[in-house]
Amino acid sequence: MFCTPCENLTAVYFTGISKQSCYNILFCPSLGERWGEWSAWSECSRTCDGGATYQERKCLDSYARSRSKASCDGERFRYNTCNIEPCAPDSVDFREQQCSAYNNATYGGKLYKWLPYTDRKNPCTLYCIPMGTRTVVRLAPEVLDGTRCKPKSYDMCISGKCWKVGCDHRLDSPLKLDLCSVCGGNNSCLNNGTKGRYHWIKIGLSACSASCGVGIQTYLYRCRDRLTGNQVPDSRCAILPKPNGKEKSCFRRQCPPVWKIFPWQECTVSCGGGIAKRAVRCMDTLRDGRQQWLHDSFCPYPKPSQTRPYPRYIARHDETGQQGLSLGYRKGRSDDYLIINENEIEKYRNEMRSPKFVVSDWGACSATCGEAYRTRFVRCQVFLPLLGDTVDMADSECYEDHKPKEKEPCSVKPCYKDFRWEKRGMTVCSRSCLGGTQETQLECVNRRDGKSYSSDHCQFAETVPIERRICNDVPCPQRWRIGDFGECSTTCGGGTMKREVHCTKQVDLALDRVVILPDVMCEQPVPLRARECNTQFCPANWASGIWSECSVSCGTGVELRPVVCQRVSPVGEPVDVDEDNCPPSERPHGERSCNRSACPEIRIKERPMKFIQINKIKKVRLNVGADAHVLHGTNLILKCPVRGMYKKRVEWLKDGNRIPWSRRVSFSPRGNLKIRKSSSQKDTGTYTCVAQKKKADVTIQFNNFMDVLQETIQREKYLLGFLADESSGNTTFTIKDPFDRQYRPLQLVVSNWSACSSTCGRAVQVRNVTCEIITHDYLEVFPLRVCKNAGIRIPDAQKKCDNPPCTKWFAKNWSKCLMHKCVREGHSMKSRTVICIKENTTSVVDSNLCDKSRRPFSKKECKNNQCKPVWHTSEWSECIAGCKEKGFQTRMLTCIWQGNQKSAGRSCENLARPVLTRSCFNNCTHGMWVPTIQEVVECVDASEYCNIVPQLKLCRFTNFKTKCCHSCSSVDEDPPS
C-alpha cells in the first residue's frame, strides 16, 4: 500500500507521517490489509484564511465481523489545509461568526448579541459572552474546523482538537515567522543593521509602593536584542518610545491606624515672628483604599505637633536693591554620572570604585577662524583596589547615555577674507501682471570651495551694485483666487474642510481692485471648494451602558453594566472592536457594589429524628435533620423551613452536587424537594438544603424486608401496647407528630440490660432508651429531651456491675544461679518471687484470686560451672586387728558437689572410685579395745547413703542403726526415741 502522492497537498497529517517523510520513503508503514480506499477530499470548511478538509476510509474487517471491534491499524481520517488565501480586511472573525449565529436564539428567555471568548484550556470549544453581561456560556462542544486556536496564531481546530500549523499553512509544520516577518527565515534583516533589532519588553513588576495597605506596582521594561534574546542597555532602544509604566494595585497587609499630617498653613503674620498651624488626624485605611477618621487614642503616642513658631528673619538688600533671604551652600549627594578629569583621579579614588568616565584636557583648536574643532580623550575607567590602579572598561559600563563629548567646535568667527558677493541673476518678478519689480540677486560665496553661506560671512566683502527694473507690465488675465482650506469639521471618522474659490480679474494694483467673474470665465475645471479630511478611524474609546438593578434586595449586592471598546467608523456609526485597542488603565468599571437594607438573619429550623417506614405510605414528608429509612417506591417531600430569605431561592444538593430538574425530581415554590416513586438505586444519599451560607441535611436510605422485620420485632410489645392505648383513648403523653401534624402518644423504648463490660473490676451494664412515636405504618425516633420535655421520666441507661477486682500474677526478677541448688552436672537452679496483685496497682492479694493455670514458674534450671560432682573420702579408721597383729583400715566414700560440698547423689557413677581399705599393723600402743574380726566384719554399712544418716541424726532409729552399723558406730549414743 503506497503513500498518497504528496504533490498538490498544502499539508498532510496521517498517522504521524509528514510530507517530507513521504518524499524520503517508498511506501508507508504497514496499516493492515483491511482498509478500504480513501474517499475524495471533503469541501473546505472555510472560503479564506485557511480551512480544513479531510478524507475518510472504512475498515473492511470490522464490517466482515458484524461490526465488531475493528482490527485495522492506523487512522480513519486524514486532514489537509485549504483556501489559505487571507480574507478581506473588513471580514468578520470566524469565531465571532459562530457566536453571532446564536443572536436570534433566546437564552434565559432573552435575546442577546453574542461575543466570542477563547478559553485557554479548551480553545476548540465554542464559548461566547452575552453582550452586557459577565457570563461565559458554552454554546457548542466544538468550533467549526479551521477556527484559530487563539488569536494571531496559525494553529487551527479540527474535529475538536487543536492542530499545530506552521506559517506556511501546513499541518504539523515547524516553520515560524522570524523577527523579520519571514516564514522560516533566519532573522537576516537584523544581522544587516539595527533597525527593528531592539525593542522594549516587559520584565515584571516593581516592589509594592506600600509596605501595608493598598499600594501601587509599576510594570518594568528593559531593552532587548531580538537577535540574541539578551537584555542590553536601554540606550539601544532610545529611538523607540518607552512604554508608559502601567500600574496595578497591590495589598500586602492591613495597615495600623497612623497619623495623617496635613500641610502647614501660612504664618499668622508676614514678619516679626508668628505661628503656623496644620491639621493632624488619626486615620485608618480600609481595604478598598478609603480612609476612616478615628479617635486619637487609636494612633501611637505622641501625637505630632499641630503648631510651630516662626523665627524673626531680618531681610537684607543686595546691591540692586532687591530683598531676599540666603539659604547658604547645601552639599548634594554624589552623582552617579560624575565626570572626572584625568588629573584628579587620585582625588576621586573612592568614587571610581564604580565605573566613571575620565576625560583629558581639551586640545588646541584646529584653526583660528572658520570651521575648527578641538578634541579630547574620553574613557570609561574603574579603580581596582587589588591592582592599586585604574583600568579601562567598555563604555556600556559607564552610563553610555551620559558619555561626555570627545569633539566640539572651537572657532567663533569666520575667515572673512575668503568670502565675496557674486551675482546670481535676477529675482522673481514681484507680480505676474500690472507691473512688478525685480532686482539683482546676490549670494555670499566662499572663494575656496564656491559654496554659498549666510550674508554675515560677507559683511567685510566688497559691495556689488544692484540693478532694479519693472517687469510683467501687462493686464492681468482671469484667474482663480483660491483661499486656504479651513479646519476639518471632525478630528477623525471622516469630515469636510472648505475654502473660498473665486474667478477674479485684478484691474488696479495700487487700490487692489478685483472684479469677481463667473466660474466659466476662468480655466476649467473649477478647483475644489471642499474635500474630505480625517477619514481615518477614530481612536477606540470605552463605551459603557446603563447600570443594572442591584443583584440583591437586601444586604450588599452588585450592579453591572456592559463595557465595550468602540470606534467611530467613517460613516459616523460606532463599531465594537477588540478590547486591546482601548487603554486598559482607562477602562470604566463594569461592576460596582450596591447597599440595600440589612438582610434578616437566615435560619434553618432543623428537627433531628430518625424515621423508619414499616408499611407502604403514599407520601412521606421529612424535615431537614431527619435520618429516614423508607421503602422503595414511596413519594418523598423534603422540607427546609428557612427564615430570613425567600424560600424559592433555597437550593438542594445531593451528596454535594446540584440536583437536575426532571419530571421525577422537582422543586416547589416553597423550596421543597419532591421525589416521585423513589428508588434505592437513584435516591439513596445525603440531601443538603442550602440557604446562602446556611446548610442542613436529610439522609435517605431504603429498608428491605429483613430491616422492617427486625425493627418490628424489637418494638412488638410497644406496638401492641400502642394499639391498645390508641383504641382506649389513652394519650397521657402526647406530641404533635411532624409526619401528619396529628397528636400521638410518646413511647419510651427500653431494651434489656447488656452483659457487664468486663468480668472484673469496674464495669457497667447499658441498655438503649429511645423516645419514639410507634405506629403500624412507621416509627419516629426523637432525642430523649423530647420525652423529657413532655413530662416522661427517663430511666437510667447505665448501671454499675458488682465484680471482683481484676488481678494478675506479678513475677519479680530472677535470682542469680544458686550455688547450693545444683541439680546435675553444670546446672543449678535459680528462683524468683511470684505474687498475686491488683491490676494497675501494687497491692498484694490472696493468690486464690489469680488464675492458677496462668501462674508463672518460680524456679528454673540455670548453667553453673561450679556444679561439678567429686568423690569425697573420710579419714582412715584405726587399724582393725589384734594387738601386735596385722589387720586393715577403712574409710567412708561419698559423692558431693565441688562448689557447696553437699551430697550429689549418684552423679559420681562415671568417676573412678578411690581405694576404701588398706592393710595395717596394730602396735597396741594405746591399749584400746579392738573388736574381733568377726565383730568388725558384721558391723558394716548396708547402703551407699549411710554417710548422710549421722548428719540427719537417724542413728537413734534401730533400722537405720542396723543397716548403717559402721557409720553409726562412731556417733555417740542418742537417747532412745
Is residue 721 exposed (0-12), middle (13-18) or buried (19+ Cβ within 10 Å)? middle
According to the model, what pLDDT value does residue 14 have?
Answer: 36
935 vs 937: CA distance, rounded Å = 5
Please enumerate in sequence order all residues whose Cβ is within 8 A of that of 266, keeping only pairs 6 or more positions apart, or say none.
276
807 vs 760: CA distance, rounded Å = 8
According to the model, what pLDDT value does residue 327 have?
Answer: 28
Q: Single out the residue of 850, 849, 761 nearest to residue 801, CA to CA.
A: 761
According to the model, what pLDDT value does residue 89 have?
Answer: 86
Q: Indicate the fold that domain 1-91+145-176 takes in CATH.
A: TSP-1 type 1 repeat (2.20.100)
190 vs 194: CA distance, rounded Å = 6
Q: How far is CA 247 from the centre of its chain?
A: 24
Angle at 489 between CA 488 and CA 495, to 5 degrees: 80
158 vs 80: CA distance, rounded Å = 10
Distances (CA, A) of 285 to 253, 254, 391, 595: 11, 8, 53, 20
Of the candidate ranges 527-536, 887-896, 936-945, the one whose mean pLDDT is the lowest: 936-945
Q: What's at 100, amino acid-wise?
A: S
Contact criterion met (CB below 8 Å) for 438 and 428: yes
Query: Domain map of the chain by residue range?
Result: 1-91+145-176, 95-139, 196-251, 257-264+279-297, 339-409, 416-471, 484-533, 541-595, 601-704, 715-803, 807-863, 939-977
According to the model, what pLDDT value does residue 158 have?
Answer: 92
Please enumerate in sequence order all residues whose Cβ is within 8 A of that of 401, keeping only pairs 6 or more positions apart, or say none.
233, 234, 235, 238
What's the pLDDT band for 412 if we cut at 50, 70, 90?
low
According to the model, what pLDDT value does residue 936 have?
Answer: 52
pTM of the predicted model over 0.75: no
Contact criterion met (CB below 8 Å) for 977 and 956: yes
Portion of the chain with pLDDT greater than 70, in percent: 86
CB atoms within 10 A of CB 661: 9
Of the candidate ranges 44-58, 320-334, 501-515, 836-850, the one whose mean pLDDT is the lowest: 320-334
Angle at 770 between CA 768 and CA 772, to 5 degrees: 150
Residue 726 has pLDDT above 70, yes or no: no
Of the candidate ranges 193-207, 256-270, 646-660, the one whose mean pLDDT is the lowest: 193-207
- Mean pLDDT (the chain, rounded): 79
Q: Which residue has the higher pLDDT, 819 or 511?
A: 819
According to the model, what pLDDT value does residue 8 have?
Answer: 36
Residue 910 has pLDDT above 70, yes or no: yes
Residue 632 has pLDDT above 60, yes or no: yes
Q: How many helices (H) and strands (E) does the chain have?
A: 11, 68
pLDDT by residue (tens digit) across 320-343?
Answer: 444 433 323 323 334 556 788 888
Distances (CA, A) of 74 to 9, 149, 258, 323, 612: 20, 26, 73, 98, 59
Of the candidate ranges 230-244, 776-790, 923-937, the one whose mean pLDDT is the lowest: 923-937
pLDDT by residue (tens digit) across 84-131?
Answer: 898 988 888 899 999 998 888 777 778 888 888 888 888 899 988 888
Contact criterion met (CB below 8 Å) for 835 and 844: yes
Please enumerate in sequence order all residues whose Cβ is within 8 A of that of 675, keeping only pairs 6 or more positions apart, or say none.
635, 636, 637, 638, 664, 665, 683
According to the model, what pLDDT value does residue 193 have?
Answer: 57
What's the pLDDT band for 71 if we cut at 50, 70, 90?
low
Cell of 851: 488464675
Contact criterion met (CB below 8 Å) for 493 and 533: no
pLDDT by residue (tens digit) across 814-852?
Answer: 888 887 788 888 888 888 899 998 887 888 888 888 888
Give φ, ψ of 190 to 5 degrees.
-80, -25
DSSP code of residue 98: H
CB atoms within 10 A of CB 218: 14
Strands annotated E in 596-646: 603-604, 609-613, 619-623, 626-630, 635-639, 642-643
Q: Which stretch, 162-166, 775-779, 909-913, has highest mean pLDDT?
A: 162-166
According to the model, what pLDDT value does residue 82 have?
Answer: 93
Cell of 798: 447505665
According to the model, what pLDDT value does residue 6 have?
Answer: 39
Beta strands at 609-613 and 626-630: parallel, antiparallel or unpaired: parallel
According to the model, what pLDDT value does residue 934 have?
Answer: 52
Residue 157 has pLDDT above 70, yes or no: yes
Mean pLDDT score, 948-958: 75
Give φ, ψ of 429 to 5 degrees.
-60, 140
To the nearest 10°, the Cα dihedral for 230, 235, 237, 238? 180
Q: Indicate the fold that domain 601-704 takes in CATH.
A: Immunoglobulin-like (2.60.40)
CB atoms within 10 A of CB 582: 20
Contact criterion met (CB below 8 Å) for 154 and 176: no
DSSP code of residue 476: P
What's the pLDDT band for 252 if we cut at 50, 70, 90?
low
Portion of the chain with pLDDT greater than 90, in percent: 5
Quote the longest CA-to-CA distance of the chain: 209
According to the model, what pLDDT value does residue 272 have?
Answer: 61
pLDDT by residue (tens digit) across 436-452?
Answer: 788 888 889 988 888 88
What's the pLDDT band for 164 if we cut at 50, 70, 90?
very high
Strands annotated E in 295-429: 307-309, 316-317, 323-324, 339-341, 356-359, 373-375, 378-384, 389-393, 407-409, 419-426
Q: Which residue has the higher pLDDT, 353 or 925?
A: 353
Residue pointed to by grid coordinates 490489509: 33
Cell of 381: 575607567
631 vs 618: CA distance, rounded Å = 10
Residue pointed to by grid coordinates 434489656: 752
Angle at 767 between CA 764 and CA 769, to 5 degrees: 135
26 vs 719: CA distance, rounded Å = 90
pLDDT by residue (tens digit) across 458-492?
Answer: 888 888 887 777 788 788 888 888 888 888 888 77
Across the strands, what pairs with 393?
380
Beta strands at 635-639 and 619-623: parallel, antiparallel or unpaired: parallel
What's the pLDDT band for 554 if we cut at 50, 70, 90?
confident
What's the pLDDT band for 587 if we cut at 50, 70, 90?
confident
3-class DSSP assignment, residue 622: strand
Please enumerate in sequence order all residues whose Cβ is within 8 A of that of 756, keeping only pairs 6 or more positions apart, or say none.
763, 764, 765, 801, 803
240 vs 858: CA distance, rounded Å = 101
Mean pLDDT score, 654-659: 86
What's the pLDDT band for 288 if we cut at 50, 70, 90?
low
Of the candidate ranges 367-376, 491-500, 712-721, 748-757, the one whose mean pLDDT is the lowest: 712-721
CB atoms within 10 A of CB 631: 20
162 vs 139: CA distance, rounded Å = 18
Mean pLDDT score, 569-595: 81
CB atoms within 10 A of CB 404: 12
DSSP codes, 274-296:
-EEE--EEEEEE-TTS-EEEE-G
Beta strands at 147-148 and 137-140: parallel, antiparallel or unpaired: unpaired
Give φ, ψ of 339 to 5 degrees.
-110, 130
524 vs 154: CA distance, rounded Å = 54
DSSP codes, 478-494:
PEEEE------S-SSSS
Query: Is there a common fold for 1-91+145-176 and 601-704?
Result: no
Q: Single out the residue of 488, 497, 495, 496 nearest to residue 572, CA to CA.
A: 495
Report CA torsion sign: 42, 46, 48, 50. negative
Residue 612 has pLDDT above 50, yes or no: yes
Give φ, ψ of 938 to 5 degrees.
-75, -25
Across the strands, what pairs with 80?
53
Give φ, ψ of 184 to 5 degrees.
70, 15
What's the pLDDT band for 729 if we cut at 50, 70, 90?
very low
